Chain A
Amino acid sequence: KNQVEQSPQSLIILEGKNCTLQCNYTVSPFSNLRWYKQDTGRGPVSLTIMTFSENTKSNGRYTATLDADTKQSSLHITASQLSDSASYICVVSARSNSGYALNFGKGTSLLVTP
């Protein structure tokens, strides 16, 4: 069972609208949580990275939140643009015997339409 669950699986919104993507995880012990944006056919690009003590982190129109108690994170996109159309991947890092392990969500596919 995947330890990082993202919802919704896909989303279609109109240009200019806001949206929120969800990430729930069961990974433990938690180290940090990252959100990546992946354009079709390209490699993922980091948007934010948050540690246990950080509740929110912004990167332009992208704002990520983290509730380490409930093990939930969200990525809020404000005033969406056509270029926001991409897959958004939540990645949770956990400490392991060999160092750290990254646990990848399956991603949310976002389509922004004119």
Chain B
Amino acid sequence: DGGITQSPKYLFRKEGQNVTLSCEQNLNHDAMYWYRQDPGQGLRLIYYSQIVNDFQKGDIAEGYSVSREKKESFPLTVTSAQKNPTAFYLCASSIAGTGLRSEQYFGPGTRLTVT
């Protein structure tokens, strides 16, 4: 999975609890991304970060928060405000941005189930 690790692979939480998903990369990439994948739907961008200490909202940021204190790490917190948090979460990284030739490398994913 290209030097990106996500943990844990499966995560179970009770409704109303915040939960943090881990994403670490050793590729020395500047940019990192969080996506959500639901059955029958394409990947949807939650948050992305082009550089340390900076991040931007994606298409579906409501109910999520992120931090980028280190280049290698981009944790995602799913808050209790997220109405439908059960999904497969994918972290990715790239050299810089998503422009020409900037390949995205994906982690193995975390499947979050909230009951």
- A residues sitting closer than 8 Å to B (CB atoms) are 2, 4, 31-32, 34, 36, 41-46, 49, 51, 89, 93, 95, 98-102, 104-107
Contacts and interface: CB of A to CB of B under 8 A. Distances in A.
A89 B44 CA distance: 13
A41 B111 contact: yes
Contact of B1 (A34, A43, A95, A106): A43
A4 B42 contact: yes
The secondary structure that dominates the A interface is strand
Interface in B72-115: 88, 90, 92, 97-109, 111
A106 B107 contact: no
22 contacts: A2-B42, A31-B100, A32-B101, A43-B4, A43-B92, A43-B106, A43-B108, A43-B109, A44-B43, A49-B103, A51-B100, A93-B99, A99-B50, A99-B97, A99-B99, A100-B97, A100-B102, A102-B45, A102-B104, A104-B42, A106-B41, A107-B42
B97 A45 contact: no
